Amino acid sequence: DSGVTQTPKHLITATGQRVTLRCSPRSGDLSVYWYQQSLDQGLQFLIQYYNGEERAKGNILERFSAQQFPDLHSELNLSSLELGDSALYFCASSVDQGRGYTFGSGTRLTVV
Amino acid sequence: AQTVTQSQPEMSVQEAETVTLSCTYDTSESNYYLFWYKQPPSRQMILVIRQEAYKQQNATENRFSVNFQKAAKSFSLKISDSQLGDTAMYFCAFNAGGTSYGKLTFGQGTILTVHP
């Protein structure tokens, strides 16, 4: 157990639907990052939150949004889902830049 | 923008032998951090080793070590005494520090297969 908890582990949904992915960071970590990993692809940075505030944005689609709550857990909302959104979505947390991330086990999203 | 390049899509090695995975990066920053992550078939992302750019000494973690060549912007990973459990995708990652707020840029990965 890495200390970063992601739920659900698997999600199957239809095109056009909306889903919410949840992440609880490791205790003491203020930064939360969301990454998307499509099949046989590298990891694409989506968005970062630090202590409740958005800090950096990557190639995140307008149909996607995220937030970090006062208890530091974060949610990634994906709407108007398309087949191409099928991917593994990782949440990671960190205490500072130099130590790297601790990753959750990911949410496997399948859009049918 | 920072880029990370892993030029070896796939590598294979015999058990107990040594293998080196390559990584190059491009940045204009002077202080930054470099990482190697392992992703086994379970798809879990595991931090293998990290290097701070201002430290000249190469990082070592048990059987894993890096060859950090700052001038050449090269950061290779050496795995000694390879084990079957080392079979995984390996990602090189870069953090520019400063105002990047910890965002990691990943390379495309190298699939490593360890054969018995």
pLDDT band at B1 (very low <50, low <70, confident <90, very high): confident
CA–CA separation, A92 and A104 (whole Å): 6
Identify which has the larger pLDDT, A2 or B23: B23
Q: Rounded CA gap, A111 and A14, in Å?
A: 5
Identify the pLDDT of residue A97: 66
Using CA atoms, how far apart are residues A59 and A65, in angstroms rounded to an integer?
12
Q: What is the dihedral of CA B64, B65, B68, B73, to 10 degrees?
A: -20
- pLDDT (tens digit per residue) in A81-112: 999 999 999 999 988 767 788 999 999 999 99
Residues of A in contact with B97 (CB under 8 A): 97-98
* Single-letter code of the amino acid located at A79: S
Q: Read off the tokens for B22.
A: 């390559």
Give the residue carrying structure tokens 């709550």.
A69
Residue scoring higher pLDDT (B56 or A77) = A77
Q: Residue A8: pLDDT band by 50, 70, 90 thresholds? A: very high
pLDDT value, residue A40? 66
| Alpha carbons A2 and B25: distance in angstroms, whole number | 28
Contacts of B45 in chain A (CB under 8 A): 43, 90, 92, 101, 103, 106
Enumerate residues 6+ apart whose C-beta is below 8 A from A82. A15, A111
Contacts of residue B1, defined as CB under 8 A and 6 or more positions apart, other chains included, come to: none
Q: Which of B3, B10, B4, B1 is nearest to B110 (CA)?
A: B10
**Torsion angle of the four alpha carbons A71, B101, A59, B41, in this order, in degrees rounded to the nearest 10:** -80
Lowest model confidence (mean pLDDT) among A13-27, A71-85, B27-41, B94-108: B94-108
Predicted pLDDT at B100: 56
Determine the pLDDT at residue B36: 97
pLDDT, residue A42, reads 82
pLDDT tens per residue across span A13-45: 999 999 999 999 999 899 999 999 997 678 999
- Give A99's DSSP letter: G
Which of B32 and A74 is assigned the larger pLDDT?
A74
Asked if the Cβ–Cβ distance from B47 to A94 is below 8 Å, we say no
Which A residues in the span 27-46 are in contact with B, Cβ-Cβ below 8 Å?
31, 33, 41-43, 45
Which pairs from A67-71 meet CB under 8 Å and 24+ separation?
Answer: A68/A32
Q: Which residues of A touch B100 (CB under 8 A)?
A: 56, 97
Q: Is the pLDDT of residue A66 over 80?
A: yes
- B91 to A101: CB separation less than 8 angstroms, yes or no: no
Mean pLDDT of the residues in chain B: 92
